Chain A
């Protein structure tokens, strides 16, 4: 099944949360990547029928999603908020989901879903006694209980320990390989890279990039990089580096050189060679803008 977004926008008063996004989510695992506050949850809520787009349309295989409870036969939703009745046991919670779906054998479906997320052992404990990771898994079990072709997960790895995280990643990957349409949001590039075949990048409400993780990686690698360099003779090194077109701008600072590299790969080869030729010793090379925020802000300036 396919989720199609066509020129979707959402604003709250004067604040634009999602701005003119067009994308198609097909079978396999898609990662929705973006920094906090990028509008990922807003977009996901619109796909799940929990928010009306202010403009544009969201459809599931051609049917409108908003105000249509029938879509939930085909969608499993794992919201970011806890959203689990603490007074129910894990078993009761998942069983209630199966019964709300009107499944022919709700007990068997619930048993299977709990087994899928490895929650059989603590299933008879009340949800309020669970750790965050266990609650997350029981939510995934409830979302999977009717074996939906589409699964939407909002920041599913938050609060999980590394082992649980790996287990859920495996589960998502295998379901995606099995032909389900899976979309999950995350603000962590490594998470998305490990699970998703396809990545959609959302920055400040805009659809900033789209592709497989190699393409996204390349976009992020090829962007201008900023380096801090300390050497035995900063001024001499600066003069030599600026002759090459891969260095865009160099600032001489009291604590070293700040170099803007336009072509990352070429600059990476240039620097040691020039240093050797000029007889300058390199003491320290450090990226000054390697955090994800600056990567995202590059992508957004590129897409405008």
Chain B
């Protein structure tokens, strides 16, 4: 961890319009929970629908995309990354710092609102709120790592990230049972399922697969991103 790198990265992400992007989805989630509550649609079934369809399937991957690519891709695009890279700091340290920043943003803007909105609907019933919050936290950390890697690998990180989040995670994961094993969202649900006793929650992937998979994906993505940044090249305009 390097505090100067972390400070600059936080300022770049929170001090600009990007913070609005980070706020829109979690505020939307809480607003939906409030609406459901106002219309008396509380209860585990509503909570589950909201968590499943919005918090985990939509909000989390998009937040992962905004924060994960946001901590590095804009700097690579406009060349400001040179300021950090032309210093005697190992590149993997820079990557690990940026990963921690992205993961912390996903905790604040992803896991916390997930807990709040579930709590608004079912309080602490059957551990649903804490289950989804923990699932969102761990999946958020994995998303941060994957999208950070994407930001280092390609200049089209956002476009590829959207395709990944929407096509793979939502469509393929939703319609092809076999592919669900390899979906970060499903791993999040496995964790939620483990903590919650709710009868409405049914995970497709076992915890014994989901937890190692989350750890491996996160560690491998951060490691690979660090490795790639070591070979960062300036191709110039010539």
CB-CB < 8 A to A81: which residues of B? 78-79, 82
A45 pairs with B236, CB closer than 8 A:
yes
B4 pairs with A83, CB closer than 8 A:
no
**Cβ of A21 under 8 Å from chain B:** no
User: Total A-B pairs in contact (CB under 8 Å)?
Assistant: 94
- Say whether, besides A97-B87, A99-B4, A41 and B238 are in contact (CB < 8 Å): yes
Shortest Cβ distance from B3 into A: residue = A99
* Nearest CB in chain A: distance from B191 CB, A: 37
Report A93-134 CB contacts with B as 1/0, cut-off 8 Å.
100110111100000000000000000000000000000000
Stretch from B29-37, B200-208, B225-233 forming part of the interface with A: B225-233
CB-CB < 8 A to A85: which residues of B? 8, 11-12, 80, 83
CB-CB < 8 A to B237: which residues of A? 41
**Cβ of A88 under 8 Å from chain B:** yes
The docked-state distance in angstroms from the alpha carbon of A87 to that of B7 is: 12
**Cβ of A156 under 8 Å from chain B:** no
**Cβ of B40 under 8 Å from chain A:** no
Interface residues of B in 133-166 (CB under 8 A from A): none
Stretch from B59-67, B88-96, B103-111, B168-176 forming part of the interface with A: B88-96
The docked-state distance in angstroms from the alpha carbon of A52 to that of B233 is: 7
| One of B82, B86, B231 near A75 (C-beta < 8 A) | B86
CB-CB < 8 A to B8: which residues of A? 85, 88, 96
| Residues of B within 8 A of A (CB-CB), count | 31
* Nearest CB in chain A: distance from B223 CB, A: 16
The docked-state distance in angstroms from the alpha carbon of A72 to that of B233 is: 16
| One of B7, B16, B86, B231 near A52 (C-beta < 8 A) | B231
CB-CB < 8 A to B230: which residues of A? 67
- Say whether, besides A87-B12, A87-B16, A99-B4, A50 and B232 are in contact (CB < 8 Å): yes
B231 pairs with A101, CB closer than 8 A:
no
CB-CB < 8 A to A100: which residues of B? 2, 4-5, 83-84, 87, 89
* Nearest CB in chain A: distance from B89 CB, A: 6
Shortest Cβ distance from B16 into A: residue = A87
A87 pairs with B234, CB closer than 8 A:
no
Shortest Cβ distance from A74 into B: residue = B88
| Residues of A within 8 A of B (CB-CB), count | 40
**Cβ of B177 under 8 Å from chain A:** no
A87 pairs with B11, CB closer than 8 A:
yes
- Say whether, besides A83-B78, A87-B12, A87-B16, A97 and B83 are in contact (CB < 8 Å): yes
Interface centre among B16, B234, B237 (most CB of A within 10 A): B234
A50 pairs with B233, CB closer than 8 A:
yes
**Cβ of A82 under 8 Å from chain B:** yes
* Nearest CB in chain A: distance from B84 CB, A: 7
Shortest Cβ distance from A45 into B: residue = B234
B87 pairs with A50, CB closer than 8 A:
no
B4 pairs with A96, CB closer than 8 A:
yes
| One of B2, B79, B87, B233 near A83 (C-beta < 8 A) | B79
* Nearest CB in chain A: distance from B59 CB, A: 27
| One of B2, B16, B88, B235 near A70 (C-beta < 8 A) | B88
**Cβ of A39 under 8 Å from chain B:** yes
A72 pairs with B231, CB closer than 8 A:
no
**Cβ of A73 under 8 Å from chain B:** yes
The docked-state distance in angstroms from the alpha carbon of A142 to that of B4 is: 14
The docked-state distance in angstroms from the alpha carbon of A79 to that of B79 is: 9
* Nearest CB in chain B: distance from A281 CB, A: 48
Shortest Cβ distance from A67 into B: residue = B230
* Nearest CB in chain B: distance from A255 CB, A: 38
B87 pairs with A51, CB closer than 8 A:
no
Report B6-26 CB contacts with A as 1/0, cut-off 8 Å.
011001100110000000000
A82 pairs with B78, CB closer than 8 A:
yes
| One of B11, B12, B15, B86 near A77 (C-beta < 8 A) | B86
A102 pairs with B88, CB closer than 8 A:
yes
CB-CB < 8 A to B79: which residues of A? 79, 81-83
**Cβ of A84 under 8 Å from chain B:** yes
* Nearest CB in chain A: distance from B73 CB, A: 15
What would be 25 A-B contacts, judged by CB atoms less than 8 Å apart?
A: A17-B238, A40-B238, A48-B86, A50-B82, A50-B86, A51-B233, A52-B231, A67-B230, A69-B87, A69-B91, A71-B88, A72-B87, A72-B88, A79-B86, A81-B78, A82-B79, A83-B78, A83-B83, A85-B12, A96-B83, A97-B83, A99-B4, A100-B5, A101-B87, A102-B88
List 19 additional A-B contacts (Cβ < 8 Å) besides A41-B238, A51-B234, A100-B83.
A12-B235, A17-B238, A41-B234, A42-B236, A50-B86, A50-B232, A52-B231, A69-B85, A77-B86, A79-B79, A81-B78, A82-B78, A82-B79, A83-B79, A85-B12, A85-B83, A99-B4, A100-B2, A100-B5
Q: Ordered nearest first, which 9 A-B pairs have the shortest CB separation?
A: A81-B79, A41-B236, A100-B87, A50-B234, A83-B79, A72-B88, A77-B86, A99-B4, A45-B234
